[in-house]
Structure 1
Amino acid sequence: MYLVIDVGGTYTKYGYYNKEGHCFENGQFETIKTNRMAFYESLEKLVQQNTKGIALSMPGILNAQTGEMLAVTLLPFLNHHNIKEELQERTKLPVSIQNDAKCAALGEMWQGSLQNMSNAFMLVFGSGIGGTIIMNGELVDSPRHKAGEVGCLLAPETLDYSSVYNISKSDSGIALIRDLSQAIGCEPDGQIVFQKLFDHQEARQIFQAFCRRIAMLIYNLDYLFDLDAVSIGGGISAQEILISTIQEEFQKMRDLHQEDDHQPIIQACTFLNGANLLGALHYYLKTIEKN
């Protein structure tokens, strides 16, 4: 049995899997954000007697081969630490680590929406925005492991560029739910927000603008990478209205600005919020057990 852990900016999700990708038990808890030792202790508590190894999905820029965390703004106390080595030392178990968006892409390539796709992009909406490029059926990495990190992109707020915003901070899933809940006047709970969304004009406008920005991002990514498909993951990907509105906004742009006849499929990923876990397991099996 394998312990698979997906660390997020708000919650840490975990599950116990066999090598076929079947999950026997899962759960979640609030991500520890105080210090490195407390963070590791929260993961160690999940190890059971028959755990063969640990597959870890993490936000941020990291070297999956060495295990070093290069940059993670959500958990800065982990920066420049070798999480793989440190967790192996503490648990005496083999550990793999991979970026969360890359894990989502791997899970979908293994058993989900990106099977047999040649060129694709994975977008994951959570506390930030994760991105992964797939070219010729393989994940794209780069010497500094930044390729695909669309959440780090900047966009102008004013015409003279005197003010810019970070896409990951302004257009993440958490940010969308926060902005909608403030407009509606309810608690920032995704289920409640989407139930009440179309009863409030201001919230509808915020939602429409969000989907338009994501559609433009996808439009630009398609011309950079000539995509067959874009899969959208994270908690809000379960909301059908999100996917359909992004599709509608993308089609509006295509109708006005298209330069060719091809356009990518835009879809929710098959495993939604669980794609990161499945992909982390797949990465462990490929790199640790080499199956």
Structure 2
Amino acid sequence: MVERVNQELGNEDLADGLAAFAAIKSGNEEAGKIFRQYCLDVAVMILNLQTVINGEKVVIGGGISAQEILIEEIRRQFGEILQDNPILGQQVIPPEIVAAKFRNDTNHYGALFALLQGMQK
């Protein structure tokens, strides 16, 4: 999503998340459209998982999770899917959708945990 927004903006640094989210927050129409579609796609993935595993919580990690508007929009999209599909709304219990505590460092902690477990063997 960040790459697509930056392409639309003409930004040479396609990985520049700050520029992408600045455009989204400033009301750039095309950036907002890309962002909303991305959040809808994530909400659909969460719905698919939820119908199978019925989890209590979905944790979004990585640098992108530092943007509270991302979590808010995914929650909104998830709720909208359930509202637009009454049968789903009756059958699917919405999980709590939150940002990972360690945000962008989540993968580092996971790698460290795996390393430490491997050293214990």
Of Structure 1 and Structure 2, the greater strand share is in 1
Q: CA deviation at 1:284?
A: 2.6
Q: Does 1:209 align with 2:37?
A: yes
Residue matched to 2:21:
194
User: Which residue of 236, 245, 248 corresponds with 2:64?
Assistant: 236
Counterpart contact for 2:58–2:97, Cα < 8 Å: yes
Report the alpha carbon displacement of residue 222 of structure 1 after superposing the two structures with TM. Answer: 0.2
Moved over 3 A (4+): none
RMSD in angstroms over aligned alpha carbons? Answer: 1.6
Equivalence for 2:8: 183
Q: Percent identity?
A: 36
Structure 2 stretches lacking a partner, 5+ long: none
2:116 maps to which residue? Answer: 285
Please say which structure displays the higher CA radius of gyration: 1
Alignment correspondent of 2:50: 222
Which letter does structure 2 place at the counterpart of 1:254?
Answer: L
Q: With the length of structure 1 as denominator, give the TM-score of the two structures.
A: 0.37
Alpha-carbon displacement from aligned partner over 1:210-269 (angstroms, at most 9, x marks no partner): 111110110111001111111111121111111111110001011222133621011111
TM-score normalised to the size of structure 2?
A: 0.85
Residues 39 and 73 in structure 2, CA contact (< 8 A), matched pair in contact too: yes
> Residue 184 of structure 1 contacts residue 200 of structure 1 at CA under 8 Å; is this kept in 2?
no
- List gaps (5 residues or longer) in structure 1: 1-175
Question: How many aligned residue pairs are there?
Answer: 115
Aligned: 1:272 with 2:103 = yes
Between the aligned partners of 1:261 and 1:183, the Cα distance in structure 2 is 36
| Equivalence for 2:73 | 245
Deviations 1:168-197 (A, max 9, x none): xxxxxxxx1111012223342111111122
